[in-house]
Amino acid sequence: MKIGGLQRITLLDYPGHLACIVFLTGCNFRCPWCYSSELVLPDKIAKQPVMAQDDFYDFLKKRKGQLEGVVVCGGEPTINPDLPDFCRQIKKIGYKIKLDTNGSNPIMLQELLKKRLVDYVAMDIKASLEKYPMAVGFEGCANNYLADNIQKSVALLKQGLVDYEFRTTFVPGIHTKEDIADIVKWLKPAKKYFLQYFRSEKTLDPIFSQIKVDLTEEINQCLAMASPFFEITQGR
Ligand code: SF4
């Protein structure tokens, strides 16, 4: 496991907690609108400075009493076989953990949930099941495992062992209102569903960084459609 970055404080990313964000390198998806190519593409990862795990643990020890939580994100954290040990160390120091995941590794997710190594999980729902391969950059590839794994992760979170949220970034050129309706039909009923605004900044596929569209109306319509089926529905 390689730590590719540390945001020392966030008020926004762990609901109800002052936290830091640790970014793990590597991802098994290639979402074309991804904002984090430096944590995803091997040639860019190779150029990233790496933080030693012991330095990260020292940082956490020093911030004890100021920070309450750690957001573990990437890249995709669950591709690292040593993620459970990493979470165990963080919890031993005394922090709550929020995991951000693409949901592609339900076996790892189940282990983390059952062993209480995470306290909150935010799972990206990249698209309707039908459009998943296209949305994560696998169009035309044989990926029968993909939809299966994603559905298993959704089902695991809906068991409610820990607090969780599902979230979709509404990306122009990838999603339509009908896709969001399909996602809502698939996920409902569930606890929280967030629709995130696409930001046209640096993206894995540069074409997406050129897109400038105001999606406020579409997102509001989707939220109105989704809200009866979730305890909390929000745009952000
Ligand atoms: S947006 Fe897609 S490619 Fe980027 S880190 Fe998340 S899952 Fe990986």
Residues whose CB is less than 8 angstroms from the CB of residue 189 and which lie 6 or more positions away in sequence, other chains included? 229, 230
Q: Which residues line ligand 1 (CB under 6 A)?
A: 27, 29-31, 34, 36, 40, 74-76, 102
pTM as predicted: 0.96
For position 188, which CATH number holds? 3.20.20.70
Could you say which residues of the chain have pLDDT below 70?
140-144
Overall number of domains in the chain: 1
CA of 27 to the centre of ligand 1 (A): 6
Determine the structural domain holding residue 82 and report its residue range. Answer: 3-235
Q: Which residues, including other chains, have CB under 8 Å from residue 1's CB and lie 6 or more apart? A: 24, 53, 80, 82, 83, 86
The tens digit of pLDDT for each residue in 116-175 reads 999 999 999 999 999 999 999 987 665 667 889 999 999 999 999 999 999 999 999 899
Q: Determine the atom of ligand 1 nearest the C-alpha atom of 104.
A: 7
Give pLDDT, residue 140: 62
Taking the CA of residue 33 as reference, the ligand 1 atom at the shortest distance is 1
